[in-house]
Amino acid sequence: MNIGSYQFDSNVFLAPMAGITDQPFRELCCRLGAGLAVSEMVSSNPKVWNTEKSKLRMIHSEDAGIRSVQIAGSCPDELAFAAQINAENGAQIIDINMGCPAKKVNKKLAGSALLREPAQVEQIVKAVVNSVNIPVTLKIRTGWCENSRNGIEIAKIAQENGIASLAVHGRTRNDFYKGNAEYDTIKAIKAAVSIPVVANGDITSVEKAEQVLSYTEADAIMIGRGAQGRPWIFREINHFLKTGTKMAAPSVNEVRSILLGHVKDLHQFYGDYMGVRIARKHVSWYVHSLALLGKESSDELTGKFAAIFADEQGKAFRATFNGLSSTSEQLEALDLCFDQLSH
């Protein structure tokens, strides 16, 4: 799998997710096997770049792996300027967001709302591609709604105007994240264009990863929600695609190292106040994943650990953890949980 001159060791990518794929999470996923980790979307509106949130999203120089930065907006000139600024700040690939279904994004004719305006799509793609000397990729959905699945039309526009790779989420905008992703449209898009196509949507297991790659014939897959609380899914999929066998689930000690390391990185990156609050949602996702971990592991200790986070006990732990207000309290709570299990 190549994008421009960049070649990837793995064709299993981390999808961009606002409020989730920040620098700490991207670096963690890359360490655990993601071939590419795409950033949270950065607004193309310069008026918001001085906010603390935007400043953190526009730090690229120290990212692990190949640095792909997603930009969002509706004005071709603003998007082109945003591409230039992010390239100057260290981005190696620019990704254009035409897949976000959020109302606050769509009402500004950005995200997946652009799929209703093929002429505007062409203007944006041309402007961004011509503004930078690095590869430009595009992320879309299959269309605006069931009656207007125009993914093939958008894909051809993208290819004709210099897009280096296309990621497709197997839902329309009106689907949001409801129901099941469909892969027929992704398969048809792959057959219609020659640029690399990345399949996205509902890939939450090694078996599903292989099925989607085989059925769509896509060049790569992109994992979004399936990586929340389970960043080791990338190495699991890589191993399964390479060997046809499942690798062992992570041990309790490794999970401890990953989880605590992630929380510490969030504290350091965001500072004490925001770090504590952002860590809460990540720990909640870990708890949910860990409740399922025992089913995948033959290790007795891992099974007992998973049971701790199942059902009401998991809810109780999340409630307690979410009530903690300092970095030291969060780390002590996690340490205590692992220590009690080990003893």
The candidate with the shortest Cα–Cα distance to 13, out of 159, 137, 105, is 137
Mean pLDDT of 189-212: 97
Query: Which pLDDT band holds residue 12 (cuts at 50, 70, 90)?
Result: very high
pTM metric for this prediction: 0.93
Angle made by CA atoms 64, 15, 195, in degrees to the nearest 5:
95
Cα(286)–Cα(78) distance, integer angstroms: 38
Angle between helix 311-322 and 272-296 (nearest 10):
170
Q: pLDDT tens digit string along 217-231?
A: 999 999 999 999 999
CA distances from 329 to 260, 272, 318, 320 (A): 12, 11, 14, 11
- In this prediction, residue 192 carries a pLDDT of 98
Indicate the SS3 state at residue 310: coil
- In this prediction, residue 48 carries a pLDDT of 77
What are the chain's domains?
2-243 (3.20.20.70), 252-342 (no CATH)
Query: Which pLDDT band holds residue 200 (cuts at 50, 70, 90)?
Result: very high
Query: At residue 314, does pLDDT exceed 80?
Result: no
- In this prediction, residue 297 carries a pLDDT of 61
Residue 109, burial from CB neighbour count under 10 angstroms (0-12, 13-18, 19+): middle
Contact 198, 167 (CB under 8 A): yes
Q: pLDDT tens digit string along 254-313?
A: 989 999 999 999 999 999 999 999 999 999 999 888 877 766 665 666 666 677 677 677
Which residues belong to the active site? 100
Cα(198)–Cα(155) distance, integer angstroms: 12
Query: Which pLDDT band holds residue 56 (cuts at 50, 70, 90)?
Result: confident
Query: At residue 55, does pLDDT exceed 90?
Result: no
- In this prediction, residue 288 carries a pLDDT of 84
Q: pLDDT tens digit string along 57-79?
A: 776 666 668 999 999 999 999 99
CB atoms within 10 A of CB 312: 7
Q: pLDDT tens digit string along 103-129?
A: 989 988 889 999 999 999 999 999 999
Query: At residue 193, does pLDDT exceed 80?
Result: yes
Which position has the token pair 């929340």?
Answer: 228
Q: Per mean pLDDT, which range of 52-56, 132-136, 140-144, 295-299 is the poorest?
A: 295-299
Cα(194)–Cα(186) distance, integer angstroms: 13
Residue 59, burial from CB neighbour count under 10 angstroms (0-12, 13-18, 19+): middle
Cβ partners under 8 Å of residue 244, min gap 6: none
